[in-house]
């Protein structure tokens, strides 16, 4: 997975070097929807999985001289997976649901000579919620559930948006929210 992330990072820097940034401004408000690739959540072989999904919002809050803009916003990520097993008439089902809720701050570089590219890096502070359910047909456990392993999180991320129009962009982001790599679309409000 580290090799794939390095290739993506190299691609982002190649685009930066050879493109013309929709520089992120203090007035900008952006909402992004992403789908995640690779995750430490559900990294085993499961019967069913929901891909990692993320929803992000950010808005500019401060200009840092001529070098860039600082943004602040929210993050929600979700991933679910389940496992069903059985033998000799016995069946059991387990399901894990991960929800990550957080606040992110980012620095958007404004010195990039491309009006369509927004390159940024930042920090995500989050609360990670895990809900687990289990049931089997043994007659002893017809369903149990709980929240296990809830924790706080702190992670760095980096990414880029390429604007296809004034308000619509595609993005790629590496880090550790709900997934190692998020790909998706962004809409400037």
101 against 20, higher pLDDT: 101
- Phi first, then psi, for residue 82 (nearest 5°) are -140, 165
Given a contact cutoff of 8 angstroms between Cβ atoms, the answer to whether 29 and 59 are in contact is: yes
Task: Look at the block and give the residue holding tokens 């008439």.
Answer: 89
The arithmetic mean of pLDDT across residues 101-116, rounded, is 90
Question: 156, exposed or middle or buried, with CB in 10 Å at 0-12, 13-18, 19+?
Answer: exposed
Take residue 100 and report the two structure tokens written for it. Answer: 């990550």
Mean of pLDDT over the chain: 82
Work out the pLDDT band at 4, boundaries 50, 70, 90: low
* Domain tally, the chain: 1
Give pLDDT, residue 141: 62
Give pLDDT, residue 20: 40
Q: Residue 181 belongs to what domain range?
A: 2-188
124 against 151, higher pLDDT: 124
Residue 104, pLDDT above cutoff 90: yes
What tens digit of pLDDT does each residue of 38-94 get?
A: 776 655 555 566 788 999 999 999 999 888 999 999 999 998 888 777 777 788 888
Given a contact cutoff of 8 angstroms between Cβ atoms, the answer to whether 31 and 187 are in contact is: yes
Q: Is the dihedral of CA 60, 151, 142, 79 positive or negative?
A: positive
Task: Give percent of the chain with pLDDT exceeding 90.
Answer: 43
179 against 57, higher pLDDT: 57
Give pLDDT, residue 61: 96
158 against 84, higher pLDDT: 158
Give pLDDT, residue 147: 65
The beta strand positions in 5-143, using DSSP E, are 29-37, 48-64, 68-87, 90-109, 117-136
Burial 84-109 (b: 16+ CB within 10 A, else e): eeeeeeeeebbbbbbbbebebebbbb
CATH number of the domain where residue 181 is located: 2.40.160.20
Residue 16, pLDDT above cutoff 50: no
């Amino acid at each position: 997975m580290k090799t794939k992330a390095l290739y993506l990072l190299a691609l982002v820097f190649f685009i930066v070097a050879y493109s013309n940034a929709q520089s992120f401004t203090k007035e900008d408000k952006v909402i992004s929807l992403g789908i995640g690739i690779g995750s430490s959540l559900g990294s085993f072989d499961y019967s069913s999985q929901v891909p990692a999904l993320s929803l992000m919002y950010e808005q500019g809050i401060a200009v840092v001289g001529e070098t860039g803009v600082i943004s602040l916003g929210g993050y929600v990520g979700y991933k679910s997976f389940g496992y069903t097993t059985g033998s000799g008439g016995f069946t059991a089902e387990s399901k894990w649901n991960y929800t990550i809720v957080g606040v992110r701050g980012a620095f958007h570089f404004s010195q990039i000579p491309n009006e369509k590219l927004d390159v940024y890096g930042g920090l995500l502070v989050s609360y990670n919620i895990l809900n687990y359910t289990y049931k089997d047909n043994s007659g002893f456990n017809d369903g149990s559930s709980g929240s296990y392993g809830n924790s706080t999180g702190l992670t760095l991320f980096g990414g880029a948006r390429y604007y296809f129009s004034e308000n619509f962009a595609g993005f790629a982001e590496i880090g550790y929210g709900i997934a190692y790599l998020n790909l998706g679309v962004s809409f400037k409000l």
